[in-house]
Amino acid sequence: MRRHAWLALWGTLLAAKVAAQAPAQGIAPDWPLLGRAKVTEAGKAMVVSAHPVASEIGRDVLLRGGNAIDAAVATFFALAVVHPEAGNLGGGGFMMYRRAPGYLHALDFREVAPGAATPTMYVADPATSHTGHLASGVPGSVAGMVEAHRRFGRLPWRSLLQPAIRLAREGFVIDDFRSTSIRNDSTRLSKFPASAAQFLPNGAPPPVGSTLAQPDLARTLEAIRDRRAAGFYRGWVADSLVAEMERGGGIITRADLRAYRTVWRMPLRLTYRGYTLYSMPPVSSGGVTLGMILNVMEGYKPLPPFGSPALLHREAEAFRRAYIERNAKLGDPAFVKNPVTTLTNKRFAAWLRSTIDTARATLTPDAVKILSEGPSTTHFSVVDAAGNAVSLTTTINSLYGNAVTVRGAGFLLNDEMDDFMTVPGGANQWGSVDGQVNAIAPGKRMLSSMTPTIVLDARRRVHLLVGSPGGTTIITTVYHILSNLIDHGMTLADAIAAPRMFHQARPDSIQFERDKELPAGVPEATVAELQRLGHGIRYRPLIGDVAAIIRTATGWQAVSDPRRSGGGAGH
Ligand code: GLY
């Protein structure tokens, strides 16, 4: 993280209520995040998201008699205004929903490849898969919210859009985090006139304390308020999107927009040491890959202590194997067969575990570089007083998506096409080398790593709602939170603040968090021991932005990741 970003983060943290926790064993003594997670407690209901204002809007919906879906819809649209790096109208996502007393639902509103997409469209110029018009898949977010509300919402649709419209029209106050975030991407944003006009008023990032109004976005939100999905996929908003495509060499057409459909999927059920988890099935790889990792790790009884070389080695080897399977076998189920049952079977995990040598690393051939973008997705969690629970992750992929704002309509487009295998054998921006199963085809959904997860306790009550941004690191971040809680007995605040480790087979290295102003959370002696076992070691910027809710003896606790700038709101 750059210096000003780090200072901005600390400014936010100092103003926050922080959880005072004792440092855990296995963490380098100068790791600064312990005790810095933002904690919110409430008796009945809770919302936690990447922006406290969006969480408060969700909480207010609950106070007005809305249910968890109503609150999720209002929070979603508010994030599209106040958290523009990832909140969106022009992206897609996944929602896990647990409806009291116990029904589970999974909604896929992932983007799809336009009808004119081809498997080789990025080979000549791979950069066009993440910046500019060609990078965008057909957005699914608005359809997703409309569908979730149609099936399960209680309050009038219009009332859920109104807070976001007000924020867009009247503006919201730019905090340190948002100002720094826009500044960090200002070069990309300045390449596209409507993005520059919206996010760089007076030619510069909006300063801290200024008010950012987005009148074009307000008009689009009003169209969605008045005409639901038709307000976005047809009419003047759709015309503006198509005109933007034509201006910049993009390929999304009116027919692509009209054809977009959400999909209700069968939630993926996993178990881990007495807990039941529900997570996202393909076309997200999140649930299946998380399941493989958990199943491998469950066989180690007891687990070595947190942060020990023995644990990190076993985790790295479990992650390596799970990502090799992910990359070779998972893709859009409408196009390829996904062996979900096999991959999430405990016997398959036992076999994978049997291939792990506890005394040395198993090398993966081929190193690839990581184009280290920040976490550009966003996760939020909601639980209402009746026990309905939403765990939702949404994305425009890179920070500020493809950097293109639709002229006159005020929303950024995604660069989700980069989540396909864009160049055979090549890595995408997450360093992921995907297989033919994730090749581009018209109408196909690109493989995701989003892992919105709902954990039930032995009494089948909601125990935890969890998810994170971070591309392919999302899956291991969710794993770390679960294992820190269940295996290492941490509080949720410590589980989220603890340093994270990542491995995805290629590049063949364990990746630890570290940055110029941030010391690594892993002790040097541990790194030396992992190298002795044969592991490559890399360092990368902070991983993820967890927004989680856990049941307590008196209600609910929300915890926001100290790596970023979210917050909870409950009652
Ligand atoms: N764009 C990140 C993901 O879907 O995993």
476 C-alpha to ligand 1 centroid (Å): 13
| CB 25 within 8 Å of CB 539 | no
pLDDT, residue 375, reads: 55
| CB 45 within 8 Å of CB 556 | yes
Q: What angle do CA 395, 53, 455 make, to 5 degrees?
A: 55
Q: Which among 113, 126, 110 has a CA at the least distance from the CA of 441?
A: 113
pLDDT, residue 22, reads: 40
pLDDT, residue 142, reads: 99
pLDDT, residue 4, reads: 38
119 C-alpha to ligand 1 centroid (Å): 19
How are beta strands 462-466 and 377-383 bridged, if at all? unpaired
What DSSP state is assigned to residue 561?
A: -
Q: How far apart are the C-alpha atoms of 115 and 92, rounded to whole Å?
A: 17
pLDDT, residue 24, reads: 60
pLDDT, residue 430, reads: 81
Query: Which residue in the block uniquely carries the two structure tokens 């398959």?
Result: 348
Q: How far apart are the C-alpha atoms of 450 and 293, rounded to whole Å?
A: 15
Q: How far apart are the C-alpha atoms of 468 and 184, rounded to whole Å?
A: 21
Can you spell out the DSSP letters for 182-218? Answer: HHHTHHHHHTSHHHHHHHSGGGSPPPTT-EE--HHHH
Ligand 1 pocket: which of 394, 449, 475, 543 to mutate (most atoms <8 Å of CB)?
449
415 C-alpha to ligand 1 centroid (Å): 10
Ligand 1 pocket: which of 332, 430, 476 to mutate (most atoms <8 Å of CB)?
430
Q: How far apart are the C-alpha atoms of 567 and 220, rounded to whole Å?
A: 26
pLDDT, residue 433, reads: 86
pLDDT, residue 427, reads: 85
Residue with the smallest CA separation from ligand 1 atom 4 is: 448
177 C-alpha to ligand 1 centroid (Å): 22
373 C-alpha to ligand 1 centroid (Å): 12
With a Cβ cut-off of 6 Å, ligand 1 is lined by 377, 395, 397, 416, 419, 448-450, 471
For residue 285, the ligand 1 atom closest to its alpha carbon is 5
Spatial strand order of the sheet with 389-395 comes to: 263-265, 103-109, 92-99, 389-395, 377-383, 46-49, 567-570
Catalytic machinery residues: 377
Residue 6's SS3 state is helix
Ligand 1 pocket: which of 394, 395, 502, 504 to mutate (most atoms <8 Å of CB)?
395
pLDDT, residue 26, reads: 86
Length of the chain: 571
Residue with the smallest CA separation from ligand 1 atom 1 is: 397
pLDDT tens string, the chain, 571 residues long: the values are 333 333 333 333 333 333 333 446 789 888 999 999 999 999 999 999 999 999 999 999 999 999 999 999 999 999 999 999 999 999 999 999 999 999 999 999 999 999 999 999 999 999 999 999 999 999 999 999 999 999 999 999 999 999 999 999 999 999 999 999 999 999 999 999 999 999 999 999 999 999 999 999 999 999 999 999 999 999 999 999 999 999 999 999 999 999 999 999 999 999 999 999 999 999 999 999 999 999 999 999 989 999 999 999 999 999 999 999 999 999 999 999 999 999 999 999 999 999 999 999 998 864 344 444 455 799 999 999 999 999 999 999 999 999 999 999 999 999 999 999 999 888 888 888 888 999 999 999 999 999 999 999 999 999 999 999 999 999 999 999 999 999 999 999 999 999 999 999 999 999 999 977 788 899 999 999 999 999 999 999 999 999 999 999 999 999 999 999 999 999 9
Residue with the smallest CA separation from ligand 1 atom 2 is: 471
pLDDT, residue 14, reads: 33
User: CA 456 → CA 179, 393, 416, distances in Å?
Assistant: 38, 19, 31
pLDDT, residue 18, reads: 34
Please state the domain extents for the chain.
24-123+262-402+418-571
24-123+262-402+418-571 CATH:
3.60.20.40
pLDDT, residue 374, reads: 54
